[in-house]
Structure 1
């Protein structure tokens, strides 16, 4: 009985970990893409500072 419960808890925890890890990686990639699209070239920064 207890072996079955421990096995189920282990599988459940592993699945939750993999889902969380996948979502974290996805979010980091979206943030990197956002940084690339929102970055300004040096010339436009110079114009803003004037």
Structure 2
């Protein structure tokens, strides 16, 4: 999935809600990553992951 948030000012934030419906049980890892055309002084904070156990 790709979501274009347009232009954001320095220090601004945006929220994107994604609803997932798992098809079975087990462990699911969801990942999100942001990119931009500007120089990023800290690219280590551009990726997040969340692991969930579905019972």
TM range (shorter): under 0.3
Q: Is the radius of gyration larger for structure 1 or structure 2?
A: 1
Q: Of the two structures, which has the highest relative contact order with CA contacts closer than 8 Å and spacing of 6 or more?
A: 2
Q: Give the structure-1-normalised TM-score.
A: 0.19
